[in-house]
Structure formats: structure tokens, C-alpha cells
Structure 1
Amino acid sequence: MQLLSEWARTRSARAIGFARRSVAVRAAYLALVAVLSLATVFAFLPNIHASSDQSQTQQKLTDQDAARKLYADKIGKTYNFAFGPKNISTPGNAAVVGDTFLQPDTFPTADYCGHCHQEAYHQWRQSLHSNSFRTPFYRTSVNILIRTKGIEFSRHCDSCHNPIAVLGGGLTQDSLVDRKFDQDGLTCTTCHSVQKLQSTMGNGGYVMGVPAVLVDENGVRIPGLVPDSEILAHLDRHSKAVMQTFYRTPEFCSACHKANLPNPLNGYKFIRAFTAYDEWQNSKFSQRNPLTFYQADFTTCQGCHMKRAANALKEPGAKNGTFASHRWTAGNTAVPFYYGFDEQLAKTVEFLKTGNYLNVDLFAIRKANEDKVIAPLGSTPFTLAPGDVIQTMVVIQNKNIGHSLIPEVRDLYEAWVEFVVTDSDNKEIYHSGFIKPNGMLDERAHSFTNRPVNTEGTFVDNHKVWTIHSVAYDNTIQAGRSVLVRYEFRIPTAVKGAVKITARVNYRHLRQSYLNNVFGEDHVLYPVVELASRTRTLNIGENPVTAPEPTDNADWMRWNNLGISYLDQLQYSDAVQAFAQVVKLRPDYPDGYTNIGLTNIEWEKYGSARASLEKALELNPGNARALYYLALVERRAGHYDAEVDDLKKVLAQYPQSRDARRELGISYYQQRRPQEAMEQFEALQAIDPDDLAAHYNLSLLYRRMGMKDKAKEQSAMFVTKKVDPGAPTYSLDFLRKHPEISIESVPWHMHTDMPHPGVSSGGEQ
């Protein structure tokens, strides 16, 4: 009663807000709010200042459980269990401790947390997490889903974008749930209430606990709001309530930064949506994959997107004057631009421009009437004349991104190469990758995007992901890899002095046509950020050797990146020649020889691969990358014991290698060692629950072992996850309709301003 009286005396001060109340008064007010907000369901929290006595804690938990049951029973009576009687989040994967609905009021608001954690709150408010649900960019596509298929299907999206709505039972027809929490998207207590993860399945692959900001002396979570004084008196218990060790792992991020389109959503089959986590795991930064082209120090998702920095505001979570960023800066410039979050926008642009994520290399030129390639530029002298037709080779390296360029929903984002040639008077000779006056990107630009299509062979331009059946092309650059983009232009006969060539990678969030879907065609242009660029001057006449710029890679790496590009474009002979230049410049570099071996394996020249792989192992005995590829050579030669031995050595160094697990499982299977094969495929599924080889082989192995139910389950997953052999038909239909961009589906192509048979000037060959 003392608390209630204190609140009554200060009632008139409500409008002033929490920040102007005394700590004691605010604590009292929050305590009453906790009681009143749940009084309509069931009374609990009988004594805010309860002692740590076990009986009182147990009574509070009993009351809380009863209140939750009453709420769940009420919601369950009208909830649309479209996907099964207990599936409250399907087509998403979100789960909750207790397997039933949570009252939205049990989640303390971000304002409550922000009273003490001012820096975290300030950063969070402008972040993507804070605005995960309310933005027009998200709402546009989700509202189409709701109108087209029903609100119950939006649980697939909102399991990550609005967990409180999903787990509170708000995503059903005629819901009575108060959706005031929508404006906060992912609040402090959604992330900080997750109690465990469901493998790395994504689509909201977490298990949410009852929100709590304090535990008792036995570690039991105390639900509801707690006065500041209680938290300050038990900071260790506060930390135990809101922190888990796995919060600092990439697996935590994988719960939402990995997604698929499942059968319950599209009525078709499993289709991968995005796999940022998988891409990280296969990158050099995870140190889990022996097959990367380069090595680096271990770095998590948080290591890039939650970098520690000095805090400007009060922040109890800071350590030694620095705080892990709760801005989660990445690539989204659209949301801060739309809301006028100038600080967040500036931080995002800075993040994109200063990360040294890409390397743009004007690697080589070739005169159209000559076979000789002049490479690498800067290290090789050459001559040019007016009228020469020049083919330019631009190599773009995904150097320091832990995932692809572009990651996740790359059909919405735009990253592309802008290539410009000018004369000495700065007059344009050739320009590819320009922005048109209406904001649309030059359709013949080389872009790092994809084109998902539906059964009508139409680009799914409005992000109706449940209609996707195929992908016409996907030009992303995976982490640590490179791409070769070719351009052709003619030096005008009247040019004197020099021409200047520039290649830059630009980035825009979001694609202009999607912005038009959201706002109509009459809207401001959204920011374009230059991620990386390189310019070279080509003299008419003699071009001597020039000094490299600080951002240039060493020549051996330039050749290596070219070889990687050739390999991905299936030009095996050229790739071998490029990697041969690498070992010529760096004869002590084992990976140079391994790359030659890898190319020969993909070229199916297994005999030729052996010598270079053995040379790599001579330079670096035990090299896991060389051992892996040598195992494939041993398999083809029928040396099965050597094959298994090599793969076991790889796994001893990289126990989470997907590829080594898969290949060792196949090796055991072929040797009729079913138990050992089964162990490898089960370990592979623990790493990647969607691996097709694991599903297929386990379905066979389980059946042979008499485990019919498990065999049936694996067989069903293989069938729904394997590529539909008819799907490419839709892609071909799309490409026939769009010849201006169809060339992007071909690994080797030329962007040119030269007329060619069947191609108009300004087109592509």
C-alpha cells in the first residue's frame, strides 16, 4: 500500500515521463504498471519488494504460469492453427519455453531498459532491429502476403521481424491482441529472452523464454518488471537473466540471418532464401572451412557488426569505456534515410566506405585484333594508338566481407559496376552502369544481384517470395572469391594525349523499381554509396611501368584473383595459366599449387592434379586444403585407404568442415562401412541441417539399418529440398523475354559499346 500511495501522490507528473521522475517514484510506477497490465488476465507479482525467500519466488512463478495459461486458453479459442494444433509460428520456426502463447505485456519495453542503458537505447532506436517491422519497405511486401494468402502466413516473416506478435498470438484473423509493440520491432527483451537455439535452421530458429530482467538466488527467472533498486542490488542476477554465452556467437545471428521458403508458405517446396550464416561459415573468417582461397583471423558476425566503441551516454554494459555497438551497422541506408536518422545513416555510409571490403583491379587490357593480353596493368609496358579497340579486364575481389556481395535478399538491393572511359577533356567515350534520370539503373550494367522468377517467367519484382520457383541468374560474389567483368570500347581516332578508365562498385539500398513499388514513381532518389574504385590513365603511345597505389594488391595476388575468376567462369585453361603465374612469383606459396590442382580436378584432369597437390604438401605438410583435394584424386585412382586417411587428417584440423564430412561419409558408404558413414552424415547435418547429400544418404543408410521412420523423414526432406528439374524452364522463359540482361546468366560475357551482329550499339555480347 505504501507503493500505491506514493504513486498516487505523483500521478499528475505522468506526462513528464520517466526521465524526470525520481528513481524511487519511477520504480513504484513501474511496479504498479506491471501489476495493472496483467490484472485483466491474472493477478501476480503480489509483492514487488519480495525477499529472496524461495516460497515467495515459487508463488510468483505459480501465479505467472496461471496467468499465462489463462491468456493462452483465451487466445487459443480463436487462433487460426492453420498448420497444426500446436504450430503457433509455422511457416516460421520460432518456439517458446512452455510451447504456448506468451502475453505481450510480459515483455518489458525498450523504454524501461533504456532508463539505465541509455547508450544502448539510443543506438537501438535508429537501428534496423528497432525498425524491423514498421518500415514501409517491409510492410509493403508483407501486406501483399496477408492480402493474398492470409495473415497466418505472415508468421513466416514476423518470426524474425516481430516475435512478440507471433508468440503473443496476434497474427490471426480478428485478433484482439493490442499491437502497440509493433513500433519497436525487435526490442531489448526479445533478443535478450532467447534461451536456446534450434540448430541453425533460420526462419526464427530460436526458443524464447518468459522475459525476465532478474533471477533469484537459485537462478530461477523472475518474470515481470523489477525496480531499479532490485537490479542495482543484484547486478550479477540481472546479467544472468539477460545474457547467454551463445549471444556472442554467429549461431545466435543465424536464427534470423538464414532463411528458406518452406512448403507451408509456398505450397510448392523448400527453396533457399538467404544464407548469410552459411556464407560466413564457409568464409575465411570462420576458420571452419579448409577450402577458402585466403586465410584470416577468426571474426564473428558481431566482430564486424557490433564493434566496440566509446560510449557517449550512460551505459552500465560498457567495459573499459567501450560498448558493443547496438546499431548493427551493415548495408541498409534506406531505413535511416527514410526516417531521417542522420546519425545512423552517417555511421552506415562510413561502415560501407571504410571497411576495405572490396578490391577493384583494372587488371589487363587486350587489343581486339591481337591475342596477347597486356597484364597486369602497371607492371607491363605497352603502346596504344587512336582507333584501337580495347577490351578491359576488371577483377573485383570480395576481400574482407564475411558473406557474399550482396547477402540475404539480393533481389531488393543493388550493387553494380560502373565503368567509365573519358578523354583528356573529360568527355565520355563509354559509360556502363549509370543511373538514368528516372532513378533506374542502366539495365546493361553488371550487377551483383539476382532475378527470382515465378511460374509465368516473370521477375518477382515486389518480393512476393512465396511465388518464387526459380532464379534466372545470381551474380553474387561469395566471400573470398573474385569476379572478372569485361568491357570493350573504341578509342576515338581524334583522341590525343590519354584516356582515363575508372571502374567502381556502387551500392544502393533499395533497388529503384522496388522503391517505386513502395512509394510510386514520384519520390526522392535514395543514396548511392561507392564501395571501392580504381582509375588508370592509358596514354596514346608509350605506357611505361608505373608504381602501384597503396590499395593495390601485390601482383601475385592479382594473378590469383584472376585465376579464381576464371575458375568460377569455367575457363579452366586460363585459370591454370593464371595460377602458374602465382607460383612463378611466389614459388613458396602452397595454395598456388593447390589452386592448380583444384582447377584440374574441376576440369576432370585428376592425373594432372596430383603433382601440384603433392608439391603443395611438400611445401606445407599436413595442409588441410591440399589434403582434401588429394583425397578426391585418390578416390578416382581407387586408393580408398589413402582417401579416407587424407579426409580424416582434414577433419582433425577442421572438425566443422561441411565438405570433408560429406566426402568422408561418401567414402565410408562406398566402402560398405554404414555405421561410420551414418556418423559422418549426422555430423554434417548438425553443421548444415539442409545438406542434400546428408538427407539422401541418411535415407538409404537408415533404411538399411531398419530405422524406417527416420529413413522416411530424411527421404521426404531430400525430395522437398532438391532442385525441381522443371524450374529452369521458368528462368529460360524470363531470359528470352529480357535479352538486354539475359547475358548476365552466362559466365563469360562482354559489356561493349561496339555494334555486333544481333546486338544494338550500347548492348552486350
Structure 2
Amino acid sequence: MVPRLSPQRAGRILIGTLLGGSLACCIMALRAGRAHAEYDPTTPSQRQVYSKSVAEHYNYRFGADKPFLPSLATTDTGEFINPRAFPTAKYCGHCHQEAHTEWRQSAHANSFRTPWYTRNVNLLMAEKGIEFARHCEGCHNPTALTSGAMTKGSPINRKFDEDGVTCSVCHSIQRVDTRGTGSYVLAQPAVLVDEHDQPIYGDVSDKEILAHLDRHSKAVMKDFYHQSEYCSACHKAALPRQLNDYKWQRAIFLYDEWQLSSFAKESPLPFYVKDSVSTCQTCHMPREPLGAAASDYGAKDGKLASHRWLGANTIMSKFYNYDTQMEKTIAFLRNGVFNVDIFGLEKSDGKADGKMIAPLGTQNFAIAPGDILTASIVIQNKGIAHSHVPEQRDMYESWVEFEAKDASGKTLTHSGIIEPNGDLDPRAHSFTNRLVNVKGEINDLHQVWNNRVVAYNNTIASGRSQIVRYQFKVPADAKGPITITAKVNYRRFDQHFMDFAMGKHYEEPVVEMAARTRTLNLGDNPANAPDPQDNKEWMRWNNFGIAMLDAQQYAESVHAFERVVLLRPDYADAFTNIAIANFSWQRYDDSRTALDKALKLSPHNARALYYLALVERNQGNLDAAIADLREVITQFPRSRDAHRELGFSLYQQRKYDEARVEYENLQSIDPDDLAAHYILSIVYRRLGMKEQASREAAAFADQKDDPTASTYALEFLRKHHEIASESVPWHTHSDFAPQQQIEGVLPAAQ
């Protein structure tokens, strides 16, 4: 029997039921809200919960307060960041379609997943442990590092590996310094700030962002993102003691090379002067017009800062079939980077040395069958703000290819060929270095953690030149004319490393970056009009002089710069260059004479004053040296060399407070300057600053050169005669046996 209810009771029950249902819904909603908050990785409280949970199983091998070493990266609070708090690149691509498309094909997007990187870092982890790979992941995979995934047995889902260095990483960096090796501070990402400029974490709709673009910009942009110092956090690196169980070693230093170059305009010392400042972003993130079909809210006036970060990574473009990236990378590599000058020719009949005919094209000469010819090729690095090759010089591969042929096509000599197995001719002139371990063997798979010494370094610094010499004989049956060609070639990796990375032989694209060809008649070769491919004659001599200076051929360098004076008597730097060569040759009086002439032409010239100060100090006139260096710093306040030399001059006068200021200024530019560590360790102690003195002394002890390390290099070079000559600044590539080679001499200036 169903009980009957009065209308009043029925109403009360209905209302109660509705209220109860509503309350239940509210309670469920509140519980759902709490559950969401509990698992929402973006809330500050849950970041702490997440960080503590990671810490429970994390290997703090390098110290409980140093969770990210050997990388110098850290987070704003020192806590880990849940990887789910990083918005994906796809999310950013909703509004930044073109930037996302470009980024996907860039080295940043592929910084972790490429087989050549993972194969190499797996070597490190297998040999030493995953925690040592934090050194690498600070720049190759910041999300992995800051999330705490770089520990054995980590349960963290690493789907973020596919995105490498993603948008929300770069745009969440709060500050950097110029130590490198990941010297940045990363905050939890936020794509919007509120009206009080406080970050809004978590998902934010496109509509809300577009309604508050000013607040979006505040959240994701910083003024220093436009400066080279920003890039220095990762495009500069060291190998610390924690990684190699040995000592601190400088590894890559693109920022320092840029800061010292003419592109930065922060130093008076480069051989050539640029009209305006070029930062890393100027070359690698130029503003480019959007294509007709492209769309991006980040564009201004129809132009977008390129997110391709074009450089030299040709193998990535091939492996992932990034055709557009490959096309643009090749164009970038060929865009006025080098000048190749077949500068001079020495000839001999095998009985007497010949004098150099130079610059080729400006003088009459004759060639006959049986002549032994030595061609001097001058390679000028005119378009890069850092050295060539940069960064991983032990496995990146760029070299000079030289070939001489007669009219019948017969090869008279050929250096720099690619052998059938893909290896480069071991006797080729390669812009590389050789990392050697404690066994006196080469670290051929980029095992930098085992490195002890660099056997030699053949890279070309920004704005400088290098001479490469080739010797061959003109056969008796040669058919004229003879064509000689010099090229600068590049491929991403040497073949041995490439095959290791891929687990099989893998053919790489080779890019011809620059080339020059000259034709030599058998018989008379009259002088001819200047070739548009060549620099002006004074600059050809100037580049030759720079190359001879770096080859430690000081007399020849002086003679070359004297030729520049004859061609441009009003060029003050020609006299300064003569002074530099004489100073290197320890001919200080001659150096002073040339500097006086430079300063007469260009009073207060900072470059001349810098070298004049060195001469004055060498001659015992410290007061004059200090005055000149102060004037240099007035013109170039960020000249690290001027601060270093002024600090040392003041130290010699026992003006310790003033010396301290200069060396601290130097450390603000380069925190790892070895001279600064050494002198400050003394100065601080004499000023009673014992704690600071101990810190600097420890840094100097860790970073100074190991005097025994050269024995490993000598052992390596002793075993490898085919490349040992590359360690000698002045040498000749020849098909003759060493005792048969003919060494010519440069005539004195007329």
C-alpha cells in the first residue's frame, strides 16, 4: 500500500529533494574543484607537492642544494617544475602559426630527439650514469632537467622529448649570465599576467590572450631576449670537474668570440671595423616578410623574427626531410661568409728557391714544365661573428679542397678529397681541433667527459685570415693552361661519427661555401685588370699579413703590412698592424715607431693606444700605460682586454683597490677569465677579503692549465704522422716527401 501525502508534505519533500540534490551537486562540484586543484600542476601549492614527490627518489649526486649540476641551469624557486606545466608548441601555434612552422624545422625543436645526439648522450649515461647527462640536457632538453626526469628510474612521462627546446622554455627564462652551460633561471611558464603583473598559470584561452595582448607580452617577453647575452646561456659551455672528475675545461665560447669581434663593436682590437652592431639575433633571427599564405599574430609590419635560427645543421634537414630548412641553410652558409684568395705563387726549378709572385694577377710571371709550384691560399673569415667551425669542433667538419689540373683534365694534385668510404682525406687542411684523452687517443665519438687536452686548433677566428699552402710539380708533358681551384667545404659531422650515430653508413650533404679558381698559362702570364672576385690589392696584402701573423711568421707579416702602407699611406691601422707584428716579434722599439705613426694619422685611436700601452709597460713606463688604457676604456667600456691590462698595470703599482675594480669589471664580461681569478685571489687577500680570496684561488686552481696535459697531445701526434703537420702553424701540403719540399721566401717590401 502506497501512503498518501498531503499537498503540504509533498511540497516540503519536493523542496527538500531539490535542495538536497542541489547541495549534493554543490558538494560534488567542490570536491571536483578540490580534486582538480590537487592534480593541477600549475598551482604554486601543487608545484611544491610535485617537487617534494620528485625529491623522494631523486639522485642528488652533486649536492642536496644543487639538483641540476653539472648544468648551471636552475629554477626561480630551486624547485622542480611539473612537465605538464609547460604549454606545448602546438598550443602556441594556434596564434603563431608561422613561428611554429619554422621552429619545428629548427635545431631548437630537434635538440634532443636526433639520433646523433641521443647516441652520444647514451654513451655518457652508460659510462657514468644518467645524472651526468644533466650537463647536456640543461640546453638540449630543459624540460627534462627541470622536471627532475634526469635520475635513474624516473617515472616521469617524457613525451616532451619530441619538442626539445620549446616555446615555453625560451619564453620562461627570467635571467641569464654569461658563464654558459645552461646559465639561466627558468620559471614556471605563464602565457598571461593579471592586472597586477602576476603570472596566470595554467590553460588560458586564445580569446583571453587576444583580448590582453599587452599582458601576454609581459608574460612571455623580456628585454634581454634581444641581446647576445641571452644566447650565451647555452651557446657557451664548459666541462666542469663534476662531469670529468678532472678539472674545469673551456669547451665552446661563441659568446666570447662574438663579444671580441667587430660585429659586437665592444672591443677596439679587431682588424676590421663594422658600421653597426650585429647581435646573435641579427644574423640568426632576422625579421623577414611573411609569405602570402602565412599567418602569425607576432608579426609586425608584415615581418616576423625568424624562428628557424639558421646555422649550419644540414644533416638534420636531410634526416627529417626539411626541404625548406635545407634550402635556407645552404643559402645562409654561402652568404658572403668567406673570401678565398689564391694570393701568391712560388716557383722553383728544384735547384734554387723561388720568390713569391703576389698578389696573383698584379704581376707578370712565367711557368715552365718541370717547375715546382707552391700556391698560397688565404682564407678570410669575413662574415661570421665567431670562429669557423664553431661549437663542436672535434666532429663538425669543414676543410679546404685544392686541385690543380692541366688542359687535358689530368690531375696534378688534389687535396681534401672524400674517400670511397666517406672519410675526409686525413692530410686535408681542416678547420677543426683534436680532443685527446689520457690514453693519448682521440675522442672520436665526442666523449668530452674523457677529454684532457686539445692537440691543436685550426679554426679561423672572426675577422681573421688563415694561410694554406699547396706544393706540386708541373709535369714535363703537361698541357697548358693549368687550372687551380681552392674551395671551402662543409658537412655537419665527420663520417666516422655520422656512421656511429646512425648505426650504418650514412651519406651526408657537402656544401661548397666559397671557391676561387685561377688559370695559369704555360709560358707568360701577364698582369691583368683586377678581378671583381678579389678584394682590393691593399686588403689582399692586409689579409695575407694577418694570416702570416697568426702563423707566427712575423717578418713576413711586417713585410705584408708595409705593402699595405705603400698602397694606403693614410690607413692608420696598417701602421698599428706593423706594430702588432713587431711586438709579437719582441721588437718593441720598432713597434713604438709604428704606433707613433698610427696615432699621428688617427689621434686617440683606441686600437693604437691599447698596443702603445703594452709597449710602454714593457719599457717600464706604467703611468703612461695606465693613462692610455683608461682612454681606451672610455671609448670601449666593455673591452675585456683593456680592463685586464689596466688591472695588471695597477696591480704592478700596488694600487690594489683600483686593480680590484678593473678585474671585477672584467669578470662582469667574462666570469671565467683566468687572469682575473689569479690576480683577484692575491688582491682580495691583501685587502683583507679572505673569503673572496679563497673563492678566487679555488677557481684559479680548478681552471688553470694542467702542465702535464701536453704529453697526451704529443703522444697522439707521434702516432699520427698524417695529421701531425696540422699542429704546426706554418706548413705546406705537398705530394713530395718532407726532404723534397721546397720552401720559398717572401721578398721584402719595395
TM-score (norm 2): 0.92
Kindly tell me the number of residue pairs found equivalent between the two proteins.
Answer: 705
Quick check: 1:133 aligned with 2:112? yes
Aligned partner letter, 1:630: L
* Deviation for aligned residue 1:585: 0.4
Aligned to 2:307: 326
Q: What does the per-residue CA deviation read over 1:662-711, in whole Å, with 9 as the maximum and x for residues that have no partner?
A: 00000100111000000000000010011111000000011111111111
For the pair shown, the structure with the greater C-alpha radius of gyration is 2
Q: Distance in 1 between matches of 2:189 and 2:211?
A: 20
Quick check: 1:143 aligned with 2:139? no
* Deviation for aligned residue 1:87: 1.1
Q: Distance in 1 between matches of 2:393 and 2:91?
A: 36
Q: What does the per-residue CA deviation read over 1:443-471, in whole Å, with 9 as the maximum and x for residues that have no partner?
A: 00000001001000110001111000001
Aligned to 2:13: none
Q: Distance in 1 between matches of 2:322 and 2:39?
A: 41
Aligned partner letter, 1:462: L
Q: Equivalent residues in 2 for 1:599-610 (5 A)?
A: 599-610=581-592
Quick check: 1:431 aligned with 2:414? yes
Aligned to 2:670: 688
Which of 60, 64, 87 is the matching residue for 2:43? 64
Aligned partner letter, 1:256: C
Does the aligned pair in 2 maintain the 1:37–1:105 contact within 8 Å?
no
* Deviation for aligned residue 1:638: 1.8
Does the aligned pair in 1 maintain the 2:180–2:237 contact within 8 Å?
yes
Q: What does the per-residue CA deviation read over 1:542-580, in whole Å, with 9 as the maximum and x for residues that have no partner?
A: 101123332311111111111111111111111100000
SS in 2 for 1:304: helix
Aligned to 2:448: 465
* Deviation for aligned residue 1:648: 0.3
Does the aligned pair in 1 maintain the 2:116–2:502 contact within 8 Å?
no
TM-score (norm 1): 0.91
Aligned to 2:534: 552
Which of 367, 385, 390 is the matching residue for 2:347? 367
* Deviation for aligned residue 1:310: 1.4
Aligned to 1:59: none
* Deviation for aligned residue 1:496: 3.1
Aligned partner letter, 2:626: V
* Deviation for aligned residue 1:41: 7.5
Aligned to 1:306: 285
* Deviation for aligned residue 1:210: 1.4
Q: Distance in 2 between matches of 1:420 and 1:350?
A: 24
SS in 2 for 1:236: helix
Classify 1:36/1:758 alpha carbon distance in 2 versus 1 (closer, same or farther; 3 Å): farther
Q: Distance in 1 between matches of 2:191 and 2:166?
A: 13
Aligned partner letter, 1:719: A
Q: Distance in 2 between matches of 1:726 and 1:234?
A: 61
Aligned partner letter, 1:611: T
SS in 2 for 1:500: strand
Q: Distance in 1 between matches of 2:116 and 2:740?
A: 39
Q: Distance in 1 between matches of 2:472 and 2:619?
A: 48
SS in 2 for 1:291: coil
Aligned to 2:189: 211
Q: Distance in 2 between matches of 1:140 and 1:496?
A: 51
Classify 1:747/1:704 alpha carbon distance in 2 versus 1 (closer, same or farther; 3 Å): same
Instruction: Indicate the larger mover: 369-378 or 452-461.
Output: 369-378
Quick check: 1:380 aligned with 2:369? no
* Deviation for aligned residue 1:37: 13
Does the aligned pair in 2 maintain the 1:360–1:532 contact within 8 Å?
yes
Quick check: 1:643 aligned with 2:625? yes
SS in 1 for 2:200: strand
Quick check: 1:157 aligned with 2:136? yes
Q: Equivalent residues in 2 for 1:78-117 (5 A)?
A: 78-117=57-96
SS in 2 for 1:505: strand
Q: Equivalent residues in 2 for 1:27-66 (5 A)?
A: 42-43=38-39, 64-66=43-45
SS in 2 for 1:212: coil
Q: What does the per-residue CA deviation read over 1:190-222, in whole Å, with 9 as the maximum and x for residues that have no partner?
A: 00000111x201011110111000001111111
Q: Distance in 2 between matches of 1:230 and 1:620?
A: 59
Quick check: 1:443 aligned with 2:446? no
Q: Equivalent residues in 2 for 1:294-693 (5 A)?
A: 294-296=272-274, 297-312=276-291, 313-353=294-334, 355-368=335-348, 369-523=352-506, 525-693=507-675
Q: Distance in 2 between matches of 1:314 and 1:548?
A: 48
Q: What does the per-residue CA deviation read over 1:632-682, in whole Å, with 9 as the maximum and x for residues that have no partner?
A: 111122222111110000000111101100000001001110000000000
Q: Distance in 2 between matches of 1:740 and 1:552?
A: 33
Classify 1:641/1:38 alpha carbon distance in 2 versus 1 (closer, same or farther; 3 Å): farther
SS in 1 for 2:169: helix
Aligned to 2:255: 277
SS in 1 for 2:148: coil
Aligned partner letter, 1:89: F
Q: Distance in 1 between matches of 2:252 and 2:596?
A: 37
* Deviation for aligned residue 1:339: 1.0
SS in 1 for 2:489: strand
Q: Distance in 1 between matches of 2:574 and 2:504?
A: 50
Does the aligned pair in 2 maintain the 1:472–1:732 contact within 8 Å?
yes
Q: Distance in 2 between matches of 1:143 and 1:481?
A: 37
Aligned partner letter, 2:470: Y
Aligned partner letter, 2:347: K
Does the aligned pair in 2 maintain the 1:567–1:599 contact within 8 Å?
yes
* Deviation for aligned residue 1:36: 10
Does the aligned pair in 2 maintain the 1:38–1:105 contact within 8 Å?
no
Instruction: Indicate the larger mover: 540-549 or 476-485.
Output: 540-549
Quick check: 1:698 aligned with 2:683? no
Quick check: 1:255 aligned with 2:233? yes
* Deviation for aligned residue 1:600: 1.0
* Deviation for aligned residue 1:724: 0.4
* Deviation for aligned residue 1:519: 2.2
Quick check: 1:169 aligned with 2:151? no
Quick check: 1:729 aligned with 2:711? yes
Q: Distance in 2 between matches of 1:650 and 1:65?
A: 50
Classify 1:39/1:316 alpha carbon distance in 2 versus 1 (closer, same or farther; 3 Å): farther
Q: Distance in 1 between matches of 2:738 and 2:212?
A: 76
Q: Distance in 1 between matches of 2:738 and 2:262?
A: 42
Does the aligned pair in 1 maintain the 2:37–2:43 contact within 8 Å?
no
Q: Distance in 1 between matches of 2:256 and 2:37?
A: 43
SS in 2 for 1:444: coil
SS in 2 for 1:260: strand
Q: Distance in 2 between matches of 1:705 and 1:232?
A: 57
Aligned to 2:17: none
Aligned to 1:229: 207
Aligned to 2:242: 264
Q: Distance in 2 between matches of 1:167 and 1:549?
A: 56
Does the aligned pair in 2 maintain the 1:308–1:324 contact within 8 Å?
yes
* Deviation for aligned residue 1:123: 0.2
Q: What does the per-residue CA deviation read over 1:134-162, in whole Å, with 9 as the maximum and x for residues that have no partner?
A: 00010011001111100000000000000
Q: Distance in 1 between matches of 2:395 and 2:543?
A: 28
* Deviation for aligned residue 1:428: 1.0
Q: What does the per-residue CA deviation read over 1:323-367, in whole Å, with 9 as the maximum and x for residues that have no partner?
A: 1100001011011111111111111111111x1010000000001
Q: What does the per-residue CA deviation read over 1:485-513, in whole Å, with 9 as the maximum and x for residues that have no partner?
A: 11000011112321000000000111111
SS in 2 for 1:546: coil
Q: Distance in 1 between matches of 2:676 and 2:32?
A: 52
